[in-house]
Structure 1
């Protein structure tokens, strides 16, 4: 099932956590939920990342380089950054089918000092279950992150102080 990128604003119910709603094109998205990751989620998140790394093309060296992203996600479960959860999980009922780690602020490389001073969220890592690739869950996580960080919509931007 394909969802056009232009529908990302309409793809959510307006809350920073909650059910992903039907798109404006009339296609109905799977009933995914986004919630903060907790320490108790460590094992299923590790299994998801292991499954994803095993499905990636390329050599073992390439997959080994992604281990740092895996470590970021698993070690930051249950940790807050700037008063907000760092790791967010995409779930289908009780099953975790995706995860992302978000850091408050802009990482220095490639951005001017003025740009780094603006409120922002940086995606440090994102993994999805390859068994759900037909629904393109990474797209849902990115849509959610955009909504979560957008001014006037997501809970992140509403309480973030600008400099």
Structure 2
């Protein structure tokens, strides 16, 4: 059974191992990886804001992590969009050994449901890679626009918050 729960300092070793596995997978394919941010992402496990979440399988294996915040970045969104209640999903990383479980999709769907549970209108995210944007489209997110930030093309994505029946997938 899967559960999404707030990360804690005790999760640091497992999160480091999971992110390191993803880094190796990306590097083997010639892709930029999370390795330069590894220590930072691991240190966020005990964020005082409680905004870092882990996806855990069978109370023993962390197979994903993400950050959920009600304040998105200052770039890529209009002033009107920034004023709308939204949950912003960022720094999502999954263990490639568990690809068959679709942990990235499950975390995204959970975030959409969580946004609705909190009374927010949107789940939002962005990415810098067209292939990742296609993956997010397959999760039900829409491409709102492409934006430029410091010379990088960003794909600004959003999905309307809605309650999803995830009871078959997640233990509450």
Q: Shorter-chain TM-score: which interval?
A: 0.5 to 0.7
Give a deviation string over 1:26-57, Cα, whole Å, max 9, x none: xxxxx211111001100100000000110112
- 1:106–1:115 Cα change, 3 Å: same
- 1:96–1:51 Cα change, 3 Å: same
Contact kept in structure 1, 2:7 and 2:53, CA below 8 Å: yes
Contact kept in structure 2, 1:73 and 1:100, CA below 8 Å: no
TM-score (norm 1): 0.65
Question: How far apart are the structure 2 equivalents of 1:67 and 1:146?
Answer: 28
TM-score (norm 2): 0.62
**Residue in 2 aligned with 1:27?**
none
Partner residue of 2:8 out of 38, 44, 51:
38
**Residue in 1 aligned with 2:154?**
none
1:110 aligns to what SS in structure 2?
Answer: coil
Superposition misfits of 4+ residues, deviation over 4 angstroms: none
Unaligned segments of structure 1, at least 5 residues: 1-30, 159-163
Going by fraction, where is strand more abundant, 1 or 2? 2
Question: How far apart are the structure 2 equivalents of 1:156 and 1:45?
Answer: 29
CA RMSD of aligned residues (A): 2.0
Question: How far apart are the structure 1 equivalents of 2:111 and 2:104?
Answer: 11
Contact kept in structure 2, 1:72 and 1:101, CA below 8 Å: no
Deviation at 1:108, TM superposition (A): 1.6
Deviation at 1:116, TM superposition (A): 0.8
Deviation at 1:124, TM superposition (A): 2.0
Q: How many residues align?
A: 118
2:69 is aligned with 1:103: yes
**Residue in 2 aligned with 1:89?**
54
Deviation at 1:73, TM superposition (A): 2.8
